[in-house]
Structure 1
Amino acid sequence: MSANSTPQATPNSPPKKTWRAGMLTYTSAGLVALFFWLLWGDFSWSMRERSAGPMAQWYLKHLGVSNLVFALLISSFPAAIALLIGPIISMKSDRHRGPRGRRIPFLLVTTPVAALGMIGIGLSPIFGPMLGGFLGRLGVTLDDRMASLVCFGVFWTAFEFATIASYAVFGGLINDVVPKELLGRFHGLFRIVSLVDGMIFNYWLMGKVETHFTILLVCIGLFYGVGFLSVCLKIREGKYPPLPSLSPPKQADGGGSGGGLAAGFVTGARTYFRECFSRSYYIGVFLFFMLAALTFMPVNTFIIPYAKSINMSMDDYGKCMSLSFLISLGLAFFLGWLCDVFHPLRMTIATLTGYALVLLWGAFFARTTGSFAVAIVLHCVLSGCYWTCVASLGQRLYPHIKYAQFSSAGGTMTAIGSMVFNPLVGSLIDWTGNVYYHTFTAGCLMALLSAGIGLLVWREFKKFGGPKNYIAPE
């Protein structure tokens, strides 16, 4: 079923209500079909997101890596990949014009790679000893633990490469095909689907990770690959206006193709940085997104090691997460509606302020299993409120035709910040003897800082028209 639907009305029939997204026009039936396929895609996408990260965190701590190495692999390494490929993929996607659109061709490539990466991570406990035995026959000594870590690193690299590349494109696809006036409510529905995924995984599956790690990741990887590919084959993009060429000026010396490629890359890079970083307003927006993302990283990165340090079982941890997702489920669509009414920038500033108060409490009182359970439920609910509210913010602030490009610029700044910030937190935890409540302290400080930057962005945002008449500067 195609998501591109045009109204069919006879001269005597009343006009049907339609919605537009760029050159796409939807009737009610077309909009329902679009939402169905995108939400199905989000279900498989979110199952990947809700499972791969926590299971990878558990496996690394099972291998006994330090908190610094843990932070480097879980946070800094993916950020470095995002820094390298995010701008390239997003700019290529914005400028691509093909029979299947400008987003879906990229997703058709990255989805199988991410699925295979998940399957490989799940098989690392099997491949590790096999690799160690093979190297041993060659005279190279590598114990099973290190061999398993090497296998994990290889498949984790493939998984993160594909995941980050798809992040740069999937948001652009939504921006291209969903009518702008429905973005807030649509992202509210996305949030609901994501929370249902989280409840399913954490309530029924998280407690089984310690005994069924391989079979869980293999099955989820297969489910994601098949589910998301089906969406890529069903959604249809519209036509896009052409963008100016990035071809470098002709050179008098008639240089070869290698020089032309290098010149083209330099020209593209100059265009990218000029368009994205020449206005202080967008730099402020990027800084706000970066600080807000860093706010949640300390707790999210070290939440499972924190739970294990106070002897909370993975089953109890999963139940706490399921409770928080259930609460968030009741708030998701309402928050999406509030974003459409009050604007997501206002809502994100409010949720960051509330989150700072929650982490301030956690920094002082989350010392036992019971108090930690309260802290992580509140953490998940408030951070979930932020992610629901911020989901459509970039689409409201960035130029529509270059959304993925500007989104990647913000992601570049976030990548740089996370490459540095989380290893610092991990080093602090190692230095203090595994005192994990410092994750709450670090997150609280970042929440206050990001809320302050958000207020400055709001002041500039009103100069460009505010909630009612905003026009993204270019």
Structure 2
Amino acid sequence: MIDFQKEYSAGTLHYRLPKLLAVCIYLLWGGFCYSMLAYVLIPTLLPLTLTSFGAGGALIGLICGSIPSAMNMVMSPVLGASSDRLRTRWGRRIPYLAVSAPFVTFFMIMVGWTPEIAAWLYRILPEGSFSLAGIGIVLICVGSVLFQFFNLVVGNIYYWLMPDVLPHCVIGRFFSLINVVIALAGFVFNYFLLKYARDYAPWVFTLVGVLFLISFLPVCLLVKEGEYPPLTPMSERKTSWPKRLVQCIIKYCRECFGKTFFLVFFIGTALNQVSTACRNIFNPLFATRELGLSEAQYGHIMGIGSLCSIGAMLLAGYLIDKWHPLRVYILTGFIIIFLNFFGYFFVVDYSTFLVVGILVVIIYSLQNLTGLPMMVALMPEERFGQFASANSLVNCLLMILANYLGGLAIDLWGYRFMFVWDFIFTILAMVAMGYIYCVWRRNGCRPVDP
């Protein structure tokens, strides 16, 4: 029987079940609209808009991939450390969301209307001074970079807000719902909006942008943060700003990377991310070129896997809360090792690829679900943003190298080598996470002090 009077706590925040459900709904609705914007709309339509002005593949890759990754490597540590130290009457995370969300909407709509804005500027500028394509590319590059800047603020801060306002005893179930919401956002966009994307792109951008802004109003106005511990005063206030910057960087590195536990944790999660580098890029080519599947058959298999993973994630949320996300993370890692061993030797046709492909999608979905709850359980709560950003930084650095080296490995040994790549790096990751598990157990199954 549901106990509506049971009290749940998150720091200084206290909820009964109806209030907790309301907070979860606000965050889930914001996550749904953000996912439709960041994970579906922009990756799908931005390349199309760039190609309409004659942009080449290198420029598209630069705007859609390289620049956002480089920006995130710089911005994530800054946002993590600064938001952890912010103290306002509205909290330490929500002010960032309230300031950035309107700019995300503005620059997103600007990107959507770039063809019309470019045509208008072409008409009013002196004849022959600029080409229409040149104006359009400049506008879309500027708009996209500014959009990505504010989007990275919202994306990072939004996920760091959740552990601050949600009881840790339900964090696994909540993140299982977030992952389901992300999948539903992709379904809604692809099923209902994608068919209008090419002919009505400006209005699709506008609709999703306005919907995103409206969805974040309840998050900013109705989700309340609790009280945080007072800050340790910063020393050397009278020194020059370059010296203070260097001191902040040294302090950040010493706190995040100076203790073996945290360094091994970051490397372990990064190695596990590296293990997916070949599969993420070359799995479709392995299926179609080596096994002879059609694109439709491959899409059918991946679609079934995604649908199955939704049900599995709902069940896994309860398991994560009851059994601990670190244990689930390690268990799924060993299952992935076995699937890669089996896949390398026995995936030879449609049927075997169907079985292994669906199982890999489900298991990786479960493992991805444990990522943030595991960090919540193991990282210092008062500096969660800082340590989360350090984890992201290490992941980005290793993935930049892994994407290149993985491509070289596939050139040398063929598409099937993706099983070997995943097998090796998952083993290395599980060795690192085994060390983390042992230290965590010796520490009484509590977070390790920095």
TM-score using structure 1 length? 0.78
- In structure 2, runs of 5+ residues without a counterpart are none
> Shift in Å at residue 72 of structure 1?
5.1
Provide the C-alpha distance between the structure 1 equivalents of 2:109 and 2:299, rounded to a whole number of angstroms.
Answer: 22
The answer on whether the counterparts of 1:39 and 1:193 sit within 8 Å (CA) in structure 2 is yes
> Shift in Å at residue 387 of structure 1?
1.5
Provide the C-alpha distance between the structure 2 equivalents of 1:103 and 1:28, rounded to a whole number of angstroms.
Answer: 23
Please name the residue that 2:308 is paired with: 327
Name whichever of 239-248 and 414-423 sits farther off. 414-423
Number of positions where the alignment pairs a residue of Structure 1 with one of Structure 2? 442
TM-score using structure 2 length? 0.82
> Shift in Å at residue 93 of structure 1?
0.6
Task: Report 1:64-463 matches (<5 A).
Answer: 65-66=56-57, 73-124=63-114, 137-139=127-129, 144=133, 150-206=138-194, 213-248=201-236, 250=238, 259=240, 261-300=241-280, 312=295, 322-356=303-337, 358=339, 377-425=358-406, 442-463=421-442
The answer on whether the counterparts of 2:55 and 2:137 sit within 8 Å (CA) in structure 1 is no
3-state SS, counterpart of residue 109 of structure 2 = helix
The answer on whether the counterparts of 2:28 and 2:181 sit within 8 Å (CA) in structure 1 is yes
Please name the residue that 1:8 is paired with: none
Deviation per CA, 1:208-228: give whole Å up to 9, x if none: 656655544442232222212
The answer on whether the counterparts of 1:18 and 1:27 sit within 8 Å (CA) in structure 2 is yes
CA gap of 1:77–1:438, structure 2 versus 1, over 3 A, is farther
The answer on whether the counterparts of 1:80 and 1:416 sit within 8 Å (CA) in structure 2 is no
Provide the C-alpha distance between the structure 1 equivalents of 2:348 and 2:192, rounded to a whole number of angstroms.
Answer: 26
Provide the C-alpha distance between the structure 2 equivalents of 1:211 and 1:124, rounded to a whole number of angstroms.
Answer: 14
CA gap of 1:323–1:122, structure 2 versus 1, over 3 A, is farther
Which letter maps to 1:412? L
CA gap of 1:214–1:15, structure 2 versus 1, over 3 A, is closer
Provide the C-alpha distance between the structure 1 equivalents of 2:277 and 2:7, rounded to a whole number of angstroms.
Answer: 41
3-state SS, counterpart of residue 230 of structure 2 = coil
Which letter maps to 2:328? M
CA gap of 1:134–1:428, structure 2 versus 1, over 3 A, is farther
CA gap of 1:139–1:357, structure 2 versus 1, over 3 A, is farther
Please name the residue that 1:9 is paired with: none
Which letter maps to 2:157? V
User: Could you tell me which of 28, 32, 36 is aligned with 2:17?
Assistant: 28
Identical amino acids, percent of aligned pairs: 27
User: Could you tell me which of 5, 13, 38 is aligned with 2:27?
Assistant: 38
> Shift in Å at residue 23 of structure 1?
0.9
Deviation per CA, 1:304-324: give whole Å up to 9, x if none: 8999998736xx887665533
- In structure 1, runs of 5+ residues without a counterpart are 1-13, 252-258
> Shift in Å at residue 103 of structure 1?
0.4
CA gap of 1:338–1:15, structure 2 versus 1, over 3 A, is closer
Provide the C-alpha distance between the structure 1 equivalents of 2:242 and 2:111, rounded to a whole number of angstroms.
Answer: 36
Deviation per CA, 1:157-202: give whole Å up to 9, x if none: 2233223222332222111111121211222222222222233234
Aligned-residue Cα RMSD (Å) equals: 4.0
The answer on whether the counterparts of 2:4 and 2:17 sit within 8 Å (CA) in structure 1 is no
The answer on whether the counterparts of 1:71 and 1:301 sit within 8 Å (CA) in structure 2 is no
3-state SS, counterpart of residue 174 of structure 1 = helix
3-state SS, counterpart of residue 295 of structure 2 = coil
Provide the C-alpha distance between the structure 2 equivalents of 1:423 and 1:131, rounded to a whole number of angstroms.
Answer: 40
CA gap of 1:307–1:81, structure 2 versus 1, over 3 A, is farther
Name whichever of 207-216 and 43-52 sits farther off. 207-216
Deviation per CA, 1:305-352: give whole Å up to 9, x if none: 999998736xx8876655333212211221111112221112112223
The answer on whether the counterparts of 1:296 and 1:383 sit within 8 Å (CA) in structure 2 is no
Provide the C-alpha distance between the structure 1 equivalents of 2:135 and 2:409, rounded to a whole number of angstroms.
Answer: 28
3-state SS, counterpart of residue 183 of structure 1 = helix
User: Could you tell me which of 430, 438, 444 is aligned with 1:465?
Assistant: 444
CA gap of 1:280–1:134, structure 2 versus 1, over 3 A, is farther
Provide the C-alpha distance between the structure 1 equivalents of 2:118 and 2:280, rounded to a whole number of angstroms.
Answer: 27
3-state SS, counterpart of residue 178 of structure 2 = helix
The answer on whether the counterparts of 1:52 and 1:118 sit within 8 Å (CA) in structure 2 is no
Which letter maps to 1:472? V
Provide the C-alpha distance between the structure 1 equivalents of 2:71 and 2:81, rounded to a whole number of angstroms.
Answer: 16
The answer on whether the counterparts of 1:206 and 1:318 sit within 8 Å (CA) in structure 2 is no
Deviation per CA, 1:422-461: give whole Å up to 9, x if none: 34556777x78xx877766655543343233222322222
3-state SS, counterpart of residue 25 of structure 1 = strand
> Shift in Å at residue 283 of structure 1?
0.2
The answer on whether the counterparts of 1:394 and 1:407 sit within 8 Å (CA) in structure 2 is yes
